[in-house]
């Protein structure tokens, strides 16, 4: 499906602003602080990556799952859904959306259990105890939250196009590609169109490979908002700084403890039953 | 509410389907029921399609995900318009299972409903306008790399203003032309049987847009015959097609021998292609016959595509395509296949008598092997 980014729900509904993110996350940030929040998100992006790799998914599926995950917490508190349940749910949905096929129920649960046990036991000492019906239920909330906006555009495709246009694919593509992978540990894919992220990552790759002089004119000829490219670059550079000082194994236990959690209380009576909800008796399936 | 989820979570993002008042059931889609409904606030009429979740072993059905994805991508006059997606709230009453509804613009009729009603008469110009819009829709979806995969008269909607809309993308999917000579492996269990093209009946899994154009050819013929041509069971299908389009053989379809089923099945030999000859009793316009002949080409590689079909003389000779609004304004009630009496030969007695224009023919097909029209 080719599609057009400019007419997509991704472009029209899902390019958010920093102010929006700060406002929506305010509750969580009061509990955790911005740095710890980002560390936690980095950790769960890694969890999604590991599960995806064990399921032998394409990077595009993993990237879509990661964006779904970030979209959910851009509008909901960490309290509303356990990220350990949301992570496999995002993978389950992304695999279908990206036409990678339905991951069988037993395979999903067994792979996630194995990854959590073998790779992340330092973070989750007890076993993974969600079952497939939890995933299905969570999937509904995820779809609802995204207003069923399913098609995600990634920086990978424009990136390949740009390096080919530059004629420097061999030299630049592997590094730029890795920087794009890393960019999913930040909020840039919630804040900027994918082509801008691709350009920022490409430019960073040029700096790493000492190709700035050769590519200077190519970048100068671009008709793009360079300040956006610089913002993206700064965000990714900040990520690398944070990463250097992040002792995941040592810190994650504390972070998870601090994280706001789903309350175990009973549902509040009548909450959410708006007048429109009540008048819908004719249509709700009962 | 499952563990891990906040029982007090709000649902502010999709509207509750209660904003619509259900009026009547109008259809049964590939993955759910369809209702006519009215927006309580704006009075606008819509069609609600419920995504069936019961007994779903794959979570939210992939067919529904595809339909949503594809309809969000496709925006065209001749493609049904997805207005929004609504939900019901998971409550104790529905065992914590919320439902998702697709909300479409309401179209007054579907083509199967119109064709099964003897009082609805299409002029040649109106048939041209119908086919023109159908092919415009196909051209648009194919350019966007989407296959419909369920072309049939019941999935062609017509608004009261005569605008045709391709609908029911529940079987649709994106396709790609493979680069490295590696074949695609799509399922061949698509398209309602009567409209299924020969390559699918032979088990092809690397098909493309021509499958939808075969369906367009069947639907175009139906504009005159008023009921689906070539109705038959699975085993009969290729025989019926051979009797109309000629024997399936490498001489007319180079490469057909690559299909395992081609060698395995007993296919009629020595049949002459008689599309024009057979259909001229119904279709008395030579350009129409020629276009049908090109749409019902056995070899998908040589079947006419939507672009060439739109350039066909049929659309550019008098009488020119003519708006359907006037004709439809004579009919006050909605016509849907779902609400119409079944179009089976046993239950709708003598459709030829009901359509003197189409049925006044010299050669009535009499061979019992021909179900209905053939």
Residue A275: pLDDT over 60: no
What does the mean pLDDT of chain A come to?
88
A70-97 per-position pLDDT tens digit: 999 999 899 889 999 999 999 999 999 9
d(CA B141, CA B123): 27
Find out if CATH 3.30.200.20 is the number for domain B15-105. Answer: yes
d(CA B248, CA B7): 62
The answer to whether B140 and B73 are in contact (CB under 8 A) is no
A239 with A203, same domain: the answer is yes
Q: Which residues contact A15 (CB under 8 A, 6 or more apart)?
A: A190, A191, A192, A193
The answer to whether B62 and B49 are in contact (CB under 8 A) is no
Q: Is residue A16 classed as helix, strand or coil in its secondary structure? A: coil
Chosen from B1, B3, B9, B173 to mutate, greatest number of chain A CBs within 10 A = B9
- A28: in domain: yes
- A255: in domain: no
- Count how many domains chain A has: 2
Pairing verdict, β B15-16 and B82-87: parallel
d(CA A17, CA A21): 6
pLDDT of residue A267: 42
Residue A228: pLDDT over 70: yes
Chain B hits for A277, Cβ within 8 Å: 16, 18, 89
Residue A173's Cα: distance from chain center in Å? 22
Residue A11's Cα: distance from chain center in Å? 16
How many residues does this entry show for chain A? 286
Pairing verdict, β B20-28 and B100-105: unpaired
Q: Is residue A272 classed as helix, strand or coil in its secondary structure? A: coil
Dihedral pair phi/psi, residue B70, rounded to 5°: -70, -40
Long-range contacts of B255-260, Cβ-Cβ distance < 8 Å, separation of 24 or more: B255/B301, B256/B202, B256/B298, B256/B299, B259/B199, B259/B202, B259/B203, B259/B204, B260/B203
pLDDT of residue B247: 94
* In chain B, domain spans: 15-105, 109-359
What number of C-beta contacts closer than 8 Å exist between A and B? 167
Q: What is the largest CA-CA distance in chain A?
A: 68
* HEC sequence for A69-82: HHHHHHHCCHHHEC
Q: Is residue B282 classed as helix, strand or coil in its secondary structure? A: coil
As given in the structure block, the two tokens for residue A190 are 């919630």
A29 with A103, same domain: the answer is yes
A221 with A177, same domain: the answer is yes
- Annotated catalytic residue, options B110, B150, B168, B305: B150
A34 with A147, same domain: the answer is yes
Scored b (16 or more CB within 10 A) or e, B229-258 reads bbbbeeeebbbbbbbbbbbbbeeebeebee
d(CA B234, CA B346): 20
Give yes or no: B150 in active site. Answer: yes
Kindly identify which residue of chain A lies nearest to residue B91, measuring between CA atoms. Answer: A286
Domain boundary among A151, A184, A217: A151
A46 with A78, same domain: the answer is yes
Domain boundary among A151, A170, A191: A151
Q: A96, B20: Cβ pair inside 8 Å?
A: no
A82 with A169, same domain: the answer is no
Chain B hits for A105, Cβ within 8 Å: 57-58
A55 with A141, same domain: the answer is yes
Q: B4, A99: Cβ pair inside 8 Å?
A: no
Specify the range with the lowest mean pLDDT, choosing from A61-70, A274-283, B210-219: A274-283
d(CA B157, CA B115): 12
DSSP 8-state secondary structure symbol assigned to residue B184 = P
A27 with A138, same domain: the answer is yes
Q: A262, B4: Cβ pair inside 8 Å?
A: yes
pLDDT of residue A281: 31
d(CA B150, CA B155): 8
Pairing verdict, β B45-50 and B33-39: antiparallel
pTM of the entire structure?
0.81
ipTM entry = 0.78
Instruction: Tell me if chain A has a CB within 8 Å of the CB of B60.
Output: yes
A118 with A177, same domain: the answer is no
Q: What is the rounded end-to-end Cα distance, in angstroms, of chain A?
A: 37
Q: pLDDT 10s per residue in chain B (374 long)?
A: 457 777 666 666 778 899 999 999 988 765 678 999 999 999 999 999 988 776 667 888 888 899 999 998 899 999 999 999 998 876 655 555 678 899 999 999 999 999 999 899 999 999 999 999 999 999 999 999 999 999 999 999 999 999 999 999 988 988 887 666 677 888 887 888 889 999 999 999 999 999 999 999 999 999 999 988 888 777 788 899 999 999 999 999 999 999 988 988 888 889 999 999 999 999 999 999 999 999 999 999 999 999 999 999 999 999 999 999 999 998 888 888 887 766 544 333 333 333 334 333 333 333 333 334 45
Q: Which residues contact A254 (CB under 8 A, 6 or more apart)?
A: none
- A41: in domain: yes
Dihedral pair phi/psi, residue B231, rounded to 5°: -80, 135
The answer to whether B131 and B36 are in contact (CB under 8 A) is no
Q: B13, A145: Cβ pair inside 8 Å?
A: yes
d(CA B360, CA B114): 20
Q: A280, B58: Cβ pair inside 8 Å?
A: no
- A14: in domain: no
| Domain B109-359: assigned CATH number | 1.10.510.10
A10-23 per-position pLDDT tens digit: 998 899 999 999 99
d(CA B188, CA B203): 6
A29 with A98, same domain: the answer is yes
Residue A7: pLDDT over 50: yes
As given in the structure block, the two tokens for residue A250 are 């040592």
Distances from the Cα of B123 to the Cαs of B109, B128, B321, B322, B323, in angstroms? 18, 9, 10, 9, 10
Q: What range defines the domain where residue A236 resides?
A: 156-244
Specify the range with the lowest mean pLDDT, choosing from A170-184, A232-246, B181-195: B181-195
User: Which conformational region is residue B30 in: left (phi greater than 0), alpha (psi within -120 to 50 degrees), or beta?
Assistant: alpha
The answer to whether B171 and B30 are in contact (CB under 8 A) is yes
The answer to whether A16 and A158 are in contact (CB under 8 A) is no
The answer to whether B248 and B261 are in contact (CB under 8 A) is no
Domain boundary among A98, A124, A151: A151
A65 with A163, same domain: the answer is no
pLDDT of residue A279: 33
Q: Is residue B33 classed as helix, strand or coil in its secondary structure? A: strand
Chain B hits for A265, Cβ within 8 Å: 7-8
The reply, when asked if residue B344 is annotated as ligand binding, is no
d(CA A134, CA B5): 9
A26 with A117, same domain: the answer is yes
Residue A211's Cα: distance from chain center in Å? 30
pLDDT of residue B347: 35
For position A230, which CATH number holds? 1.10.472.10
């Amino acid at each position: 499906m080719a599609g057009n980014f400019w007419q997509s729900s991704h472009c029209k509904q899902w390019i958010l602003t920093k102010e929006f993110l700060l406002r929506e996350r305010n509750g969580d940030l009061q509990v955790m602080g911005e740095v710890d929040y980002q560390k936690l998100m980095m950790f769960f992006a890694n969890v999604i990556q590991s599960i995806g790799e064990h399921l032998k998914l394409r990077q595009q599926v993993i990237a879509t799952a990661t964006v779904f995950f970030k979209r959910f917490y851009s509008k909901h508190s960490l309290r509303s859904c356990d990220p350990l349940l949301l992570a496999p749910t995002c993978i389950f949905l992304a695999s279908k959306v990206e036409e990678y096929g339905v991951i069988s129920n037993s395979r999903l649960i067994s792979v996630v259990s194995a990854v959590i046990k073998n790779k992340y036991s330092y973070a989750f000492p007890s076993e993974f105890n969600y079952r497939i019906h939890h995933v299905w239920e969570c999937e509904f909330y995820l779809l609802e939250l995204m207003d069923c906006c399913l098609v995600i555009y990634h920086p990978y495709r424009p990136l390949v196009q740009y390096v080919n246009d530059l004629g420097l694919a061999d030299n630049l593509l592997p590094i730029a590609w890795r920087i794009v992978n890393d960019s999913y540990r930040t909020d840039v894919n919630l804040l900027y169109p994918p082509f801008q992220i691709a350009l920022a990552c490409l430019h960073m790759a040029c700096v790493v490979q000492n190709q700035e002089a050769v590519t200077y004119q190519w970048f100068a000829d671009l008709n793009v908002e360079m300040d956006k490219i610089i913002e993206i670059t700064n965000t990714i550079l900040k990520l690398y700084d944070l990463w250097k000082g992040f002792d995941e194994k040592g810190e994650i236990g504390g972070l998870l403890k601090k994280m706001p959690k789903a309350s175990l209380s009973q549902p509040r009576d009548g909450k959410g039953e708006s007048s429109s909800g009540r008048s819908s008796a004719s249509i709700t399936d009962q | 509410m499952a563990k891990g989820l906040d029982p007090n979570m709000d649902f502010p993002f999709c509207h509750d389907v209660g904003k619509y008042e259900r009026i009547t059931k109008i259809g049964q889609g590939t993955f759910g029921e369809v209702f006519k409904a009215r927006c309580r606030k704006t009075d606008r009429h819509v069609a609600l399609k419920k995504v069936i979740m019961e007994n779903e072993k794959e979570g939210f059905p992939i067919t529904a995900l595809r339909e949503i994805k594809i309809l969000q991508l496709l925006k065209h006059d001749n493609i049904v318009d997805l207005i929004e997606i609504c939900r019901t709230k998971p409550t104790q009453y529905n065992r914590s299972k919320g439902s998702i509804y697709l909300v479409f613009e309401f179209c007054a009729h579907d083509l199967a409903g119109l064709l099964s009603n003897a009082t609805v008469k299409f002029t040649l110009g109106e048939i041209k306008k119908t086919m023109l819009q159908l092919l415009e829709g196909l051209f648009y979806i194919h350019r966007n790399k989407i296959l419909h995969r369920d072309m049939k008269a019941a999935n062609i909607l017509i608004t009261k203003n005569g605008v045709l809309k391709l609908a029911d993308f529940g079987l649709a999917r994106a396709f790609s032309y493979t680069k490295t000579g590696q074949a695609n492996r799509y399922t061949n269990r698509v398209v309602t049987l009567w409209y299924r093209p020969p390559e699918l009946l032979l088990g092809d899994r690397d098909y493309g847009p021509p499958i939808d154009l075969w369906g367009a050819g069947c639907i175009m013929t139906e504009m005159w015959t008023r009921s689906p041509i070539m109705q038959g069971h699975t085993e009969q299908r290729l025989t019926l097609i051979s009797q109309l389009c000629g024997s399936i053989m490498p001489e007319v379809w180079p490469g057909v021998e690559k299909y395992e089923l081609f060698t395995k099945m007993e296919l009629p030999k020595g049949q002459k292609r008689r599309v024009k000859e057979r259909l001229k009793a119904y279709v008395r316009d030579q350009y129409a016959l020629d276009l049908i002949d090109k749409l019902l080409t056995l070899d998908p590689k040589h079947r006419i595509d939507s672009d060439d079909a739109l350039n066909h003389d049929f659309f550019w000779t008098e009488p020119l395509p003519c708006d359907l609004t006037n004709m439809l304004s004579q009919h006050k009630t909605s016509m849907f296949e779902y609400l119409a009496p079944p179009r089976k030969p046993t239950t709708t007695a003598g459709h030829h008598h009901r359509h003197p224009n189409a049925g006044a023919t010299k050669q009535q097909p009499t061979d019992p092997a021909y179900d209905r029209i053939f």
